[in-house]
Structure 1
Amino acid sequence: MRADDQRVGLAAEAFSFGYPMVCAVRQIIRAAEEGTGPIRPVGFNAFAHQTDPPGPLSPFLNVNPDVLFSMAQVDLGPGPAVLRVPPAPDRYHVLAFYDPWLNVFAYLGTRTDTRTENGDGDGQGHEVLLVPPGGDADLDADADAGSGGRLVIEAPARVFSIVARFAFRGRQDLPAVRALQDQLAVSPLDPDARRPEGPPDRSKQVCDDLRFWEELRTWMRAFPPPPMEREYARRFEALGLLADPSPYIDPDPTLAWSLRTGLRTGRDELERLADAGRRTNLGWASTLHEADYNLDRFGPGVRDDRAWEIPDRAQARIARALAARRPLGIVHAYEETAAHCAVDLEGHHLTGAHDYRLRLRPPPVDSFWTLTMYDEPDGYLVDNPLGRYSISSLDDLVHEPDGSIPVLIQSEPPRPEALSQSSAAPSGPQGPSASALRPVSTPRSTSAAGAAGTANWLPAAGGDFRLVLRMYCPGEEVLRGAYSPPAIHRLD
């Protein structure tokens, strides 16, 4: 094998390794300077908010209609900062902290119910002290700069992102969520601290087709890989990624060829892996362990548990690279998980040309669940007369006597008798267990189906579609993989 061929393989490997960090830092810069979709730019150390729910005209794919997002791009270069989190005891919410390598290093919110001397889980809200790497030790040494009884989160890098999610249900709920968003704040501990600078700039002298490599080289120096990955990163010295000054301003032609070819090879391989699909059960594909690539950054709310780690580092790097394709980051399954389905019991693709029934055993969750409709293959929300893009445990749904929920999935409104008729359809292999049911509220029975009308109707796309079942704070049955949604039955 020629040396150039060896470097192509090494460059493809380096692309997969560095792609998450390059994506994350680009996103940090873009969010701070240009905004992200409906979330406007506000610079560093401030929150920007999504204030309106997504709909079918959203320019983004696979949007989550359950929550409104808030984002802060944080730079602790000037020193520690104080994060203010509003009280929300009766509403699901989470703040996820992402380092530049896409590791979630801390969670705050409903599941963690963090308590400090400045507030508690009983609705008072709280303040959190954010410190840069090594800053926790500095606080211990300087009583005047102490935490003041606040929870302290030591960030693994001076620059990182906070993505907050607040659950809402319907436009009437928006004012309450917006009021919570307005209470989120990041402010310097030292009021005289200098302005944050953000990530360092890459050299503009490097040509565009080597931009990725220059960004990776620049940002890897500013934000070193997690400790367990640093020896591995030295493999890429032959590519110039550890060099300073930049070897890409006037690159060796053979090195430049290897980098360009390796980038294409690495990108193609990532696309292949993304399209490979997941193992399914009754047509549903789950995502329990896609965020388990973090092995050494365990702040508040992050489980330091082998059950939530991908032990094979090569597989963990691939998982991280695949996660980088998601614009707002992913969270661990114990915070939120999802199951996807695009086929019926017989394996035929779901389509609006037919009517379907899902006899759903409510997922065991500690917060809530939703079932959302997306068109295929694009992933847009589906326009419909009700403006309904999902059904949820927060809705007033009709239940069967055993607690299961007959969901009618079709493009046209159901007939008044359809719900009671669907109850009599054979349950097939899904076999809900009444003893395992956990109804979220006092259910209406199918005897009220006529009055319920469209309560259990999830409007379908006219063409192909898929369903996503999201579970917030899922129970142990879900996390063990023991819960699976039932198959979807075609009715016509």
Structure 2
Amino acid sequence: MNRLTMPLLASAALCLALVACNRQTPTEPAAGAPASAPAAAGEPTADEARAIAKDAYIWGYPLVENYKTLYQQALDQGGPNFHAPLNQIGHSANVATPKDTAIITPNSDTPYSFLWMDLRAEPLVLSIPAMGDKRYFSVQLIDLYTFNFDYINQALTKGKAGNFLIAGPDWKGETPKGVDKVIRSETPFAYALFRTQLFDPKDLDNVKRLQSQYKVQPLSAFAGTPAPAAPPAVQFPPYDARKANDVGFFSYLSFLLPYAPLDDSEAALRDRLAKIGVVPGKPFDENALSPAMRQALLDGIGDANKEFENFAATQMSTDKVRSADMFGTRAHLKGNALYRFAGAKQGIYGNSASEADYQGYLVDAKGQPLDASRHDYALRFPKDGLPPTNAFWSITMYDGPTKLLVDNPLNRYLINSPMLGSLKRDADGGITLYLQHASPGKDKEANWLPAPDGPFYAILRNYSPKPEVIDRTWTRPPLETTR
């Protein structure tokens, strides 16, 4: 759910922290397999199928990963990550903990509310309570492709209550009375991800009160008009991670394509997908694949994951591509499927640059991967060198292999700007944070961010960042080893 800017290195530790757990398919042809098996009539060669599968995986991975969250949060009512049915808001009354595993690199600053929207029959109206001008909140609106197509936030509401209509691609009505803004989704299924700032643990009841005032209703109910006919029922396939990481990936993609309206810029890609049996609404029959064709598709998936590794090592590690490049509207992404793929791989549902800035710590000041089983670390902010923000900033700790929060004796998963009053200052007024597995000592525990006993990374988030953060004229301090 979170966008990262990580100084990645092409190393074994990097692969462990960010890549290895994503690469679960073969990357080389099976021993003895021909380089390009003979094709049946109308069937692509193995080499051609492999190339198509690679492009299909890069382009389609965000959709399938998005469906994973849709299924777990809105459809799998007996599952541990279920929140609310379609077109109803579910709430997480607490911030994320290590027990929350549905989304990697979760944000633990803001309790979440979740709304999966089915916009086929009619639009939905989201009602936001008066938030005041001090509390950060946002409603990130994400389509099936994972484009952030808009936001409802402080910049839009100015802290006042408002009603916002979310319409699917086929709605052609006028702005109804009482609606402050009409916002259109490119896809008929979309996601509204609410973030409500928690100032401190004592503030939780206030956050719950605000969450209870978030409201969603069909346009007909809001306007007091007859409801339209219900849309056709959808037979949503259960999400199975093993299937999604095998050739079954293409089955999920085929299922999703009817709900992902074709953009003209992707027409040629869609034609290529059809050559390997990925056709909108048509079941993908993996049992009909020949052994050579099955291996070609798996090799294509492996090639896509290799492409991500190379991209991380050569583009992101050199800061040529930043997190701000990988999340946003379709217009912002400019058809760059690799950027969208990398964003979904790192942490799906990253915010657009104007809403939040993310900078990752994956290596220390000497460029070595972070490992708290071998070293202790310190992060020192000078007296006047804290992250410039219009709202707040935080530093959150993550386990490297799982990309989840770290269980620890303090139940502390982050240190943020609302905690500044409780942090111990250095003699010169600066602040030193201790990122390590064992306690740095009682006198320093106020500034301790517990790490796992192994590889980890940390994310510096800045909500409503000031311009000097976005343009990188403000430079974050390095993470120094102390042991």
The bucket for the TM-score relative to the shorter chain is 0.7 to 0.9
Match 1:374 to one of 382, 398, 402: 398
Are the equivalent residues in 2 in contact too, given 1:224–1:230 (CA < 8 A)?
no
Displacement of 1:194 in angstroms is 4.5
In the alignment, structure 1 residue 291 sits paired with structure 2 residue 326: yes
For structure 1, the residue ranges without an aligned partner over 5 or more in a row are 116-120, 141-145, 297-308, 417-452
2:59 maps to 1:17: yes
Inter-CA distance 460–239: structure 2 relative to 1 (3 Å threshold)? closer
Cα gap change, 1:413/1:346 in structure 2, threshold over 3 Å: closer, same or farther?
Answer: same
* Counterpart Cα distance in 2 of 1:201 and 1:399: 54
Q: Which of the pair has more CA radius of gyration?
A: 1
Q: Which residue of 2 aligns with 1:97?
A: 141
In structure 1, the residue matched to 2:465 is: 474
Partners of 1:33 and 1:327 in 2: CA distance? 22
Cα 1:183–1:197 change in 2 (3 A) is farther
Quote the residue 1:390 is aligned against. 414
> In structure 2, what is the Cα distance between the partners aligned to 1:466 and 1:327?
13
Task: Show the counterpart of 1:341.
Answer: 361
Q: 1:344 to 1:326 in 2, by over 3 A?
A: closer
Give 1:331's aligned residue. 351
- Aligned match of 1:359: 380
* Deviation per residue, 1:354-392 (Å, 9 max, x gap): 544322221112111111223444444344444322211
**Aligned-pair CA distance for 1:100:** 1.0
Superposition map of 1:46-85 within 5 A: 46-59=88-101, 62-85=105-128
Give the counterpart letter for 2:112 in structure 1: F
Any residues of structure 2 matched to 1:123-272 within 5 Å, and which? Answer: 124-135=160-171, 137-139=172-174, 146-191=176-221, 192-195=227-230, 199=234, 201=236, 211-242=248-279, 246=283, 248=285, 251=288, 253-254=289-290, 257-258=292-293, 261-270=296-305
2:439 corresponds to: 412
Match 1:318 to one of 338, 344, 348: 338
| C-alpha distance in structure 1 between counterparts of 2:78 and 2:356, whole Å | 22
Do the aligned partners of 2:164 and 2:179 also contact (CA within 8 Å) in 1? Answer: no
1:442 is aligned to none
What SS does the corresponding residue of 1:230 show, helix, strand or coil? helix
Matched residue SS, 1:43: coil
> Which letter maps to 1:7?
A
Kept in 1: contact 2:137–2:194 (CA 8 A):
yes
What is the CA deviation profile of residues 388-427 of structure 1, one whole-angstrom value per residue up to 9, with x for unaligned ones?
Answer: 22211111134568764222344224464xxxxxxxxxxx
What secondary structure does 1:127 align onto?
Answer: strand
What is the CA-CA distance between 1:459 and the residue it aligns to?
3.5
CA–CA distance in structure 2, aligned partners of residues 52 and 243 of structure 1 = 39
Distance, in Å, in 2 between the alignment partners of 1:261 and 1:79 is: 42
Matches within 5 A, 1:304-315: 309-311=332-334, 313=335
- 1:343 Cα deviation (Å)? 3.4
Letter in 2 for 1:412: S
For residue 187 of structure 1, report the CA deviation from its aligned partner. Answer: 0.7
Single out whichever of 61-70 and 352-361 deviates more from structure 2: 352-361
Aligned partner of 2:84 in structure 1 is: 42
Structure 1 length-normalised TM: 0.74
Residues 228, 471 of structure 1: alpha-carbon distance in 2 compared, 3 angstrom cutoff: same
Return the letter of the residue paired with 2:64.
V
Partners of 1:22 and 1:212 within 8 A in 2: yes
Q: Which runs of 5+ in 2 are unaligned?
A: 1-35, 39-44, 222-226
Q: Is the alpha carbon distance of 1:40 and 1:21 closer, same or farther for their aligned partners in structure 2, counting shifts above 3 Å?
A: closer
Alignment RMSD (CA, Å): 3.5
**TM-score under structure 2 length normalisation:** 0.75
Q: Secondary structure at the match of 2:418?
A: coil
Q: Is the 8 A contact 2:95 2:112 kept in 1?
A: no
Residue pair 2:200, 2:418 contacting (<8 A) in 1 also: no
Decide whether aligned partners of structure 1 residues 199 and 398 sit closer, same or farther in structure 2, where only a CA change above 3 A counts: farther
Question: What is the CA–CA distance in structure 1 between the aligned matches of 2:329 and 2:78, rounded to whole Å?
Answer: 25
Distance 1:383 1:243 in 2: 43
How far apart, CA to CA, are the structure 2 residues paired with 1:247 and 1:341? 41
Q: 8 Å contact 1:200–1:222 — kept in the other structure? A: no
Q: Secondary structure at the match of 2:326?
A: coil
User: Partner letter of residue 116 of structure 2?
Assistant: Q
Distance in 2 separating the partners of 1:91 and 1:36: 34
Matches of 1:476 and 1:454 in 2, distance apart?
33
1:15-47: CA deviation from partner (whole Å, max 9, x where unpaired): 222222233234323321126976534211111
Say whether the 8 Å CA contact 1:11–1:259 is kept in structure 2: no
Take 1:37 and 1:201, find their aligned partners in 2: how far apart are those partners? 15
For 1:77, give the aligned amino acid.
R
Contact 2:111–2:196 (8 Å) recurs in 1: yes
Q: CA deviation at 1:335?
A: 1.4
Alignment: residue pair count: 420
- Separation of aligned partners in 1, 2:177 and 2:299: 48
In 2, the alpha carbon distance for the partners of 1:399 and 1:355 equals: 19
User: Is the Cα contact below 8 Å between 1:75 and 1:197 reproduced in 2?
Assistant: no
Match of 1:485 in 2: 476
Equivalent position amino acid for 2:217 in 1: S
Mark the CA change 1:200 to 1:467 in structure 2 (over 3 Å): closer, same or farther: same
Residues 359 and 405 in structure 1, CA contact (< 8 A), matched pair in contact too: yes
Assess, with a 3 A threshold, how the Cα gap between structure 1 residues 260 and 109 changes in structure 2: closer, same or farther. Answer: farther
Measured against aligned partners, the alpha-carbon deviations of 1:302-346 in whole angstroms (never above 9, x if no partner) come to: xxxxxxx355x4xx2012223334675221122122222243333
